[in-house]
Amino acid sequence: MTADLSRAALETGEVLIVERLGGGLLELVARLPHLAATAMPGSFAQLRCSRSSTPLLRRPFSVAWTQDDNCGFVFEAVGAGTRLLSELQPGDPLDTLGPLGHGFSVVDSGSVVCVSGGLGCAPFPLLINELRRRGVEDILVLNGARTATRLYPAERFARPAVPVVAEATDDGTRGHHGPVTDLLHQAMASHPSALYACGPNAMLGAVMSTLLESGADLPPTLEASLEAPMGCGFGTCLGCALPVRAEDGTSAWRLCCTDGPVMPMRDVDWDGLRALPGADVA
Amino acid sequence: MTENALEGIDLGRGLVLPNAVGLASGTAGYGFELEQLIDIQRLGALYTKGTTMRPREGNPPPRIAETGGGMLNSIGLQNPGVDAVAAAYAPRWSGWAIRVIVNVAGGSVDEYVHCVSVLESVAEVAGIELNISCPNIAQGLDFGRDPALAARLVAAVRAVTERCVIVKLSPNVTDIAAVARAVEDAGADAVSAVNTYIGKKIHRASGRSVLPLGTGGLSGPAIQPLALAAVAAVCDAVHIPVIGVGGIIDAASARDFLIVGACAVQVGTATFINPETALQVLDGLRG
């Protein structure tokens, strides 16, 4: 099936600010009227980091939030591309292609749990905004990170009314001392209609394992936003394959960029994903 | 130096490209994504993803790795198989102005012949590009490395098609001109050069290859001077049309290929970064 790219467009926006949130987290805000008007929860945009040919490839980022003509992106300067983005100044042009990708199935009733690990916070403000627009108010965010300074600030998950955010840090500097998956058991007691997760692929696998081991009924909507090194972002290079389970139980590849990045967690081959070497494009 | 024509590129056997700029195999799928992003009908040719006798799932990830001015890929010819292309994809090309040239790959002469035979009755297929040089499958490269093997393959395909047959040459050889001459003598109507260069990248934290199969195909602006030298050698060696491909990012880097004797070009990896590159190349060449 061919991906629907009808909303995607090249757009050169203008950087408004690159804000340092602490712990290395950065929030890039740019004026991008087309992207702001067309991004859906879970959509991503391909940002060009340089006008030269090194680094060559665009980098995919979730559209974290939109407000009027502006879009926010959350990231960390971990490689050549993201380092260049971190150095952008107000007024600099930002070359984007988007919105791209298959986003979240947004429910319109019941309670919702969002599980974020590290930079996995990125798609949730836009998702939560849309959930609220549809009348879903019972939203619990489980936000995990290595340490307190790397937790995306609770008030940024939604404005003006902040959802309930339960925090966990690996080193215990804020919230629960331990992985964010420790918070899942209690969260599932409310029998949420949807659970959405985003974070490193290993963390997403741990979320799925924890849910299965808990014996609780899985939420009807159970989706994760995954990541893979991407070449194009629009389904032609076939570079961003992720393992899924076909209906007959065998493993198959799906593209992160057009079949995902949001995929039903029941479909992902978590053992296969865990076995993959790490990503190399940052 | 004569001025290269940019319109009406005659590749032989009735295949005339509306203009000299095409989308390279493996970077444009079967056209259905890019047609949503750009006006692909303004371009001369779409060279499809490498298509094989049976569907292929492709290689395990990671399949790509970025390098200085380029990227390595090890996709492994993921494609739905020639029957699906003929039955499900080709009808969607009906009415397209851009010429669709199906890139065919295989592990044996019989597999290539089977694919080309299936496509022979498909009206929407304007021509065949023989991929004798995919570096990412077990047997695909041998045909491109050995002039005699390449000639045998081309002759076998020649026997089952009236269509224009373009042979895509591997740069991973000592003497690309020898392979070009061999496929010309065996009945190829045109050649395209070059496919990707074999490359390797080490994951520095682990000391292992980034790509699971060890190596991949290098593309992007980093290879343009290499590709240009190879295309110049091919142009000197054969009398059939030569299509230049490798690292084109703009009209200037495309014009280099026309200057050394290519009659048309393909834009590949640059489309990933900017889907409009091929259109910009076309407009730039027209000046």
Band the pLDDT of B1: cuts 50, 70, 90: very low
Residues of A with CB under 8 A from a CB of B: 2-6, 8-10, 48, 53-58, 97, 228-242, 252-253, 258, 276-281
Residue B75 has pLDDT above 90, yes or no: yes
Task: Return the residue of A nearest to B28 by Cα.
Answer: A236
Distance CA A241, CA A253 (A): 5
* Mean of pLDDT over chain B: 95
Q: Which of B211, B111, B184, B6 is nearest to A280 (CA)?
A: B211
Residue of B nearest to A46 (CA): B273
**Is pLDDT of A282 > 50?**
no
Q: How far apart are CA A177 and CA A168, in angstroms?
A: 6
- The CATH fold assigned to A9-100 is Elongation Factor Tu (Ef-tu); domain 3 (2.40.30)
- Looking at residue B51, the DSSP 8-state letter turns out to be B
Kindly report, residue by residue over B77-90, the tens digit of the pLDDT: 999 999 999 999 99
Number of Cβ pairs closer than 8 Å across A and B?
Answer: 123
The ipTM (two decimal places) reads 0.95
Contact A212, A219 (CB under 8 A): no
Residues 6 or more apart in contact with residue A260 via CB below 8 angstroms: A101, A102, A225, A226, A242, A254
List of chain A residues whose C-beta atoms are within 8 Å of the C-beta of residue B61: 228-229, 239-242, 253, 276
Q: How confident is the model at residue A276 (pLDDT cuts 50, 70, 90)?
A: confident
The rounded distance, in Å, linking the Cα atoms of A165 and A268 is 27
CB B145 within 8 A of CB B170: yes
The alpha carbon of residue A202 is apart from the nearest alpha carbon of chain B, in Å, by: 15
The chain A residue lying nearest B71, using CA atoms, is A56
How far, in Å, CA of A122 to CA of A45, rounded?
12
pLDDT tens across A184-204, in order? Answer: 999 999 899 999 999 999 999
Residues of A within 8 A of B66 (CB-CB) are 55-57, 229, 280-281
Q: Residue A220: which pLDDT band, with cuts at 50, 70 and 90? A: very high
Q: Letter for the amino acid at A30?
A: A
Looking at residue A280, what is its pLDDT? 41
pLDDT of residue B138: 54
- pLDDT score for A162: 83
**Runs of H (alpha helix) within chain B:** 34-37, 82-84, 109-120, 142-145, 147-158, 176-185, 224-237, 251-259, 270-273, 277-286
User: What SS3 state is found at A187?
Assistant: helix
Q: By three-state DSSP, how is residue A155 classified?
A: helix
Q: Give me the residue from A53, A233, A276 closest to B61, CB to CB.
A: A276
Pick the residue of B27, B47, B63 with the most A CBs within 10 A to test the interface with A by mutation.
Answer: B63
The strand order across the sheet containing A44-47 reads A59-62, A44-47, A93-100, A9-22, A25-31, A70-76, A65-67
CB contact (8 A) between residue A58 and residue B61: no
- Distance, in angstroms, between A252 CA and closest chain B CA? 7
A5 → closest Cβ in B37, B64, B212: B37
Residues of chain B with Cβ-Cβ distance to A48 below 8 Å are: 273
| Euclidean distance between CA atoms B137 and B263, whole angstroms | 30
Give the pLDDT of residue A203.
Answer: 94
User: Are the beta carbons of B58 and A48 separated by less than 8 Å?
Assistant: no
Q: What's the mean pLDDT in A215-223? A: 94
The residues with which B46 forms a beta bridge, in sequence order, are B23, B100
| Contact assignment for A55 to B203 by CB distance below 8 Å | no
The closest CB to that of B210, out of A97, A236, A280, belongs to A280
Of B29, B62, B64, the CB nearest to A235: B29
Residue B5: per-residue pLDDT: 87
Distance from CA of B150 to the nearest CA of A (A): 27
Per-residue pLDDT of B227-256, as tens digits, reads 999 999 999 999 999 999 999 999 999 999
- Chain A residues whose CB is inside 8 A of the B203 CB are 277-278, 280
- The full set of domain ranges for chain B reads 7-59+76-200+219-286
Which among B71, B210, B212 is the nearest to A56, CB-wise? B71
Of residues A237 and B2, which shows the higher confidence score? A237
> Facing residues of A251 across strands?
A245
Listed in sequence order, the residues at least 6 apart from A6 whose beta carbon sits closer than 8 Å to its beta carbon are: B36
Task: Check whether A27 has a pLDDT greater than 90.
Answer: yes
pLDDT at A248: 84
Tokens linked to B174:
């000592």
- Which residues, other chains included, contact A151 with Cβ-Cβ below 8 Å and sequence gap of 6+? A23, A143, A144, A145, A167, A169, A174, A175
CATH among 3.40.50.150, 3.10.180.10, 3.20.20.70, 3.40.640.10 for B7-59+76-200+219-286: 3.20.20.70
Chain A residues in contact with B276 (beta carbon < 8 A): 10
**Facing residue for A228 by CB, picked from B29, B61, B220:** B61
Q: Do B29 and A57 touch (CB under 8 A)?
A: no
For position B142, what pLDDT does the model report? 76
Q: What is the pLDDT of residues B86-108, one digit of tens each?
A: 999 999 999 999 999 999 999 89
Test mutation, A10, A237, A259, chain B, max B CBs within 10 A: A237
Nearest to B272 among A9, A54, A232 (CB): A232
DSSP helix, strand, coil percent of chain B (3-state; round to 5):
35, 25, 45
Mean pLDDT of the region A56-79: 97
Chain A residues close to B271, C-beta within 8 Å: 232, 236
Q: How many CB atoms lie within 10 A of CB B156?
A: 16
A240/B63 Cβ within 8 A: yes
Task: Write the DSSP assignment of B123-145 as a string of letters.
Answer: TT--EEEEE---TTSSSTTHHHH
Contact B66 A277 (CB under 8 A): no
Lookup: tokens for A253: 């590849």
Closest listed residue to residue B223, CA positions, set B73, B22, B34: B73
- Residue B136 has what pLDDT? 55
Q: Does residue B134 have an active-site annotation? A: yes
pTM over 0.90: yes
Query: Residue B149 — pLDDT band, cuts 50, 70, 90?
Result: very high
Cβ-based neighbour number of residue B205 at 10 Å: 7
Angle (CA) A100-A102-A103 rounded to 5° is 100
Stretch B199-216: mean pLDDT: 92
pLDDT band at residue A281 using 50, 70 and 90 as cut-offs: very low
pLDDT digits (tens, 9 = 90+) for A79-119: 999 999 999 999 999 999 999 999 999 999 999 999 999 99
B275 token code pair: 């889907």
Q: Tell me which chain B residues have a C-beta less than 8 angstroms from the C-beta of A230.
A: 64
For the segment B260-269, the average pLDDT, to the nearest whole number, is 98
The single residue of B115, B134, B235, B263 carrying the catalytic annotation is: B134
